[in-house]
């Protein structure tokens, strides 16, 4: 079945450091790819998405490119802030009946940014 693998956490960085969180996937079809972020005590929020190969999703300074040849969707940010501290989930979706998505999540990566 479909699966998503993220880099092991936790990840701790200093403010203004560069961030990469690796994500690779296996899927039988042509999934859409997502990054969700979970701030402490809150639910998941969509951070960015990409729906086809070579698409780049971006939001709040974060970027990720859908790489079909390497089945990857790595999350990057050039200069992180303390407010970026959260748990990040990579996810894919394959279409199920009537066009609704079934999300498959990675295990999550906890990111802590120190001032």
Partner 1 sequence: EAQVTQNPRYLITVTGKKLTVTCSQNMNHEYMSWYRQDPGLGLRQIYYSMNVEVTDKGDVPEGYKVSRKEKRNFPLILESPSPNQTSLYFCASGRTGGTRSNQPQHFGDGTRLSIL
Distance CA 78, CA 96 (A): 36
DSSP conformational letter for 28:
S
- Positions in 73-102 near partner 1 (CB under 8 A): 89, 93-102
- Positions in 10-49 near partner 1 (CB under 8 A): 31-32, 34, 36, 41-46, 49
- Report CA-CA distances (Å) from 73 to 7, 14, 35: 12, 23, 9
Least separation in angstroms between residue 90's CB and partner 1 is: 9
Least separation in angstroms between residue 64's CB and partner 1 is: 14
Least separation in angstroms between residue 61's CB and partner 1 is: 19
Least separation in angstroms between residue 21's CB and partner 1 is: 13
Identity of the residue, 70 or 98, whose beta carbon is nearer to partner 1 in the bound complex? 98
* DSSP per-residue codes, 29-75: S--EEEEEEE-TTS-EEEEEEE-STT-EEEETTEEEE-BTTTTB--E
Contact pick of 22, 58, 59, 105 for partner 1 (by CB under 8 A): 105
> By CB under 8 A, is residue 53 in contact with partner 1?
no
Give CA torsion, residues 91, 86, 7, 57, to 10 deg.
50
């Amino acid at each position: 079945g479909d699966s998503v693998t993220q880099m092991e956490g936790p990840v701790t960085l200093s403010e203004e450091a560069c961030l990469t969180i690796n994500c690779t996937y296996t899927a039988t079809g042509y999934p859409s790819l997502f990054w969700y972020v979970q701030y402490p005590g809150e639910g998941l929020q969509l951070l960015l998405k990409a729906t086809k190969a070579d698409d780049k999703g971006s939001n709040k300074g974060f970027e990720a490119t859908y790489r079909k040849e390497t089945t990857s969707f790595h999350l990057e940010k050039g200069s992180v802030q303390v407010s970026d501290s959260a748990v990040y989930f990579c996810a894919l979706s394959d279409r199920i009946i009537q066009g609704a998505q079934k999300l498959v999540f990675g295990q999550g990566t906890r990111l802590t940014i120190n001032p």
